[in-house]
Amino acid sequence: RKRILSGIQPTGTPTLGNYIGAVRNWALLQPDYDCLYMVADLHALTVRQVPADLRRRTRELAALLLAVGIDPENHVLFVQSHVPAHCELSWILACNTQFGELSRMTQFKDKSAKHPDNVNGGLFTYPVLMAADILIYNADLVPVGQDQTQHLEIARNIANRFNGVYGDTFILPEGYVPASGAKIMSLAEPTKKMSKSDTNVNSFILMTDDKDTIVRKFKRAVTDSDGVVRFDRENKPGVSNLMAIYGTFTGKTMEEIEAEFAGKGYGDFKMAVAEVTADALTPVQAEYNRILADKAYVDGVLKNGAERASRIANRTVSKVYRKVGLLQLD
């Protein structure tokens, strides 16, 4: 069976964007792949974190992934820092990645503009660690939202170059980016990505928002003044974003949604979007609270996950160390 690896940072409560763009698909892909899913705590350190918060959020995020339906019996759920081999491979890959190609990463440019006081080395080499996360498991497929596709591309380039220099070592991973929903937009500024770090709390839906909050936020969502539910990303970004969300949860095409709301106002449409979103998130939230209450269970899953992931990861590191000429004793 083909293998999947993906990750999410424990930097705050995941949004509807994280859910639709990534995590929901992680669960849906499980029947067809061998999956490894990871809480990317090392990546979170590229931005200053409050240590106690980071620790708490790491466990909470693991519980949330279990609540979404990640199955830790048949697949592997782990925390990045629990598998030290990621950092070991990351160094080797960093020595095979050029300053120029890392300088072109748009996320690095965005984040360094946003935090000019903390443009650290980790922020710059972030895509190298992400390449290590993927290549260390020889993942075939990487389900991500659109904002990670450039990072996936550099991972492929790094793998390809390494294979060229040292002989076939890594599989070139493919991205799995959902057709609609790869980029859920801010509800307040629908030309911007929905992001949990946005200062306007009305711009995002959190996976833990209750129904009243979900309804309130969708009611306030920015649309336009022509009052027609029609899919047109360019001219109607707000409405199109709501349609993408509605389409995800109902399985309806954009044409079907247009027909369903023909002659109806945005008020009805927004309520319908809020309704299907709450219906999707409410059972996840109930599971989340149940699972999080059992800390020992969550920690047990993560311990087992780290052991299983390490077995694969350590083999790759030994192979790579040998290929690049590091002396190994037996």
> Rule CB under 6 A: which residues touch ligand TYM?
5-9, 17-18, 20-22, 40, 43, 130, 133-134, 142, 144-145, 147-148, 182-184, 193-194
Q: Which residue has the tokens 């945005």?
A: 266
Please tell me whether 18 is known to bind a ligand.
yes
Question: Catalytic: 323?
Answer: no
Complex with ligand TYM: residue 104 or 264, whichever CB lies closer: 104
Please state, in angstroms and rounded to a whole number, the distance separating the CA atoms of residues 47 and 52. Answer: 15
Angle between helices 106-114 and 149-166 (to 10 degrees): 130
Name, in order, each residue with C-beta under 8 angstroms of 317's C-beta and a sequence gap of 6 or more.
85, 88, 89, 136
In angstroms, give the least distance from the CB of 266 to ligand TYM.
21
Return the number of the residue (133 or 140) whose C-beta is nearest ligand TYM: 133
Which residue lies nearer to ligand TYM by CB, 105 or 291? 105
* 146 annotated as a binding-site residue: yes
Contact predicate 46/120, CB 8 Å? yes
Please identify, using beta-carbon distances, which residue of 144 and 320 lies nearer to ligand TYM: 144
Angle, helices 295-324 vs 266-292, to 10°: value is: 90
Minimal distance in Å, beta carbon 10 to ligand TYM?
Answer: 8
Cβ distance to ligand TYM smaller for residue 244 or 298:
244
For residues 109 and 290, which CB has a smaller minimum distance to ligand TYM in the complex?
109
197 is in an annotated binding site: yes
Question: Is 318 among the annotated ligand-binding positions?
Answer: no
Least Cα distance to 280 among 67, 41, 119, 13 occurs for: 67
CB-side neighbour CA atoms (13 Å) of 306 = 16
Say which of 183, 193, 236, 270 is annotated catalytic: 193
* Minimum distance from residue 194 beta carbon to ligand TYM (Å): 4
* Smallest gap from residue 91 Cβ to ligand TYM (A): 16
11 annotated binding-site participant? yes
Q: Give CA–CA dist 66/213, Å, rounded.
A: 23
3-state DSSP call for residue 281?
A: helix
Q: Is 14 annotated as a binding residue?
A: no
How far from each other are the two terminal CA atoms of the chain, in whole angstroms? 32
What letter does residue 21 receive in the DSSP assignment? I
Smallest distance, ligand TYM to C-beta of residue 193, A: 4
Q: Is 192 a catalytic residue?
A: no
- To ligand TYM, the closest distance from the beta carbon of 142 in angstroms equals 5
Report the distance separating Cα 218 and Cα 212, nearest Å.
10
Give CA 162 to chain center in angstroms: 26
Q: Is 252 annotated as a binding residue?
A: no
Residue 141's region, left for phi above 0, alpha for psi from -120 to 50, else beta, is beta
The one catalytic residue among 111, 183, 217, 270: 111
* Residue, CB closest to ligand TYM: 21
What is the Cβ-side half-sphere exposure of residue 187, based on CA atoms within 13 angstroms?
25
303 in catalytic set = no
212 labelled binding-site residue: no
* Catalytic entry in 196, 217, 236, 270: 196
Report CA-CA distances (Å) from 87 to 81, 90, 168, 243: 8, 5, 21, 41
Q: Which residues are annotated as a binding site for ATP?
A: 9-11, 17-18, 145-147, 184, 193-197
Question: Annotated binding site, which residues?
Answer: 9-11, 17-18, 133, 145-147, 184, 193-197
Which residues are the active-site residues?
Answer: 111, 193, 196
